[in-house]
Amino acid sequence: MKAAVLTASAVFVIALPAAAQDLTDNARYAAIVVDAQSGEVFYAQRADSARYPASLTKIMTLYMAFDALAHGTLKPTDQITMSAHATSQAPVKVYLRPGDTIDVDTAMRLIALYSANDLAVALAEKIGGGSEERFAAMMTIKAQELGMTHTRFVNANGLPDPRQISSARDLAILARAVMRDYPQYYDYFNLPSQEFRGRTYVNHNPLRSMPGIDGMKTGFTNAAGYNLVASGVRNNHRLIAVMLGGSNKTQRREHVTALMNTGFDVISRRDRGERIEIAQNEFTRAMDAEARMPEGPQPYTILADNGEMVGGNAPLSDAQLRETLEGSEQANAADVDVQRASATVKAPDVAQTLSAATNTAALVKKPAAKVAVSEKPDTAQKNSKSKKAELADKADKTAKGKKKKDPTAVYAIQIGAFKDKTLANDWAKKMKTKFSSHLASGTTDISKNDNGWYRTRFVTLTKAQASAACKDISAKHLDCMVIKPDA
């Protein structure tokens, strides 16, 4: 029986400032950092607690496929016929129909890089003799053989099921097993994209732009939170990092980046002869910057390193911009930093007003505070008049005072948020060029919010222009949010 026991010989303790965001306060959060060669655990937080793996399940699905390929019971050229059960899976998927076929190699590619739920089930049925349930049982048995003692699988794609659980340590064991047992197939987890039936599917891994990172897999469900297994090599040392239960994509990306960077820093210092057994100070410094991130979800998540420009201040190419924006979250209208501009500001004065204000929140009128005044006896007597008459009077006033929709009200759209102002400017130029039919008359507004994000907006738009622009931009899988004026 294979077993991979990860021992904590060097424990990294994160000590965050009291006023900063502390990931340990998030009940779903769990993480581990492991040396892939030795199995040494550098950092562990709730590493053995039960968590929902979400799409990280597909690492095990692919491990089973690798095992079948290695034993000759499955070939990359074998055809998979889609069943009604497989095609009925919830997105993300490639939307094949029952009876459609796809070869094993292409299916594995799209499972690894695009997280296709329908193909994961179809592959499971191919290996499991037509039964996903049987395949899930095979997955659980294999997991136990690998030493994943806290793991149980009931499906092949990680879609929500309270019975499907794992842990950060178990997922690190699995990642290490893939590299150890089937290194010839590990590159499936680092494919940048895959063409299939006229469409290009792009890798979801947010750390692919980080130097040395060469895999693995993301996962998300509402119950699980934002999960990520990542691995990378620097100076012939490989680390595996697992984070489970993140609050948003930004937090997940930044936190795993910090974990990896700190781990590699410790390895580098050890190689220079420094003795590090408990690296609390190293992680404290690494996490301080991350801890200052806002607790709420960011409406846009930038996946590339915004601090590194290609060619100085030159605008990014299409490929670089696509890499920067891959996987970004849809704008969240409830975000506190995106306020609605006052309808009392009319074009063309809105651009000047927005520029003068530190942020759009300054344009929002706050309701006057209500002051409680004690009633005098005679006032109370007056207020004893019939409720019916009072309600009728109020309804009449409401009808008379109801405002008609203002056709001159100014709308805006928000199309991105960046940590670097140059990127924000470049993206605004790129978007104005690509969607000139909608944005030619819009005025670019880029402002930095209190959390350090440069919000990229086009203002001085009508409602129709803003709605049409966001419709076309969103159709290209890019973020766009209409910013409405106050009613």
Instruction: Give me Rg for the CA atoms of the chain.
Output: 27
**Distance between CA 432 and CA 441 in Å, rounded?**
10
Q: Which two tokens stand for residue 443?
A: 């005025």
Burial class of residue 463, CB neighbours in 10 A (0-12, 13-18, 19+):
middle
Cβ atoms of residues 175 and 37 within 8 Å: no
Would you call 55 a catalytic residue per the annotation? yes
* C-alpha dist (Å) from residue 244 to 10, 151, 480: 21, 14, 28
Would you call 231 a catalytic residue per the annotation? no
**Distance between CA 469 and CA 474 in Å, rounded?**
8
Output the CA torsion 415→419→421→425 (10° steps).
-30
From the list 38, 49, 58, 463, the catalytic residue is 58
**Distance between CA 358 and CA 290 in Å, rounded?**
25
101: helix, coil or strand? strand
Strand extents, DSSP E, 152-249: 193-196, 199-202, 213-221, 225-234, 237-246
From the list 9, 88, 115, 400, the catalytic residue is 115
Backbone angles phi, psi at 424, to 5 degrees: -60, -45
Would you call 58 a catalytic residue per the annotation? yes
**Distance between CA 337 and CA 359 in Å, rounded?**
9
Tally DSSP H helices, then E strands, for the chain: 15, 13
- Return the active site residues: 55, 58, 115
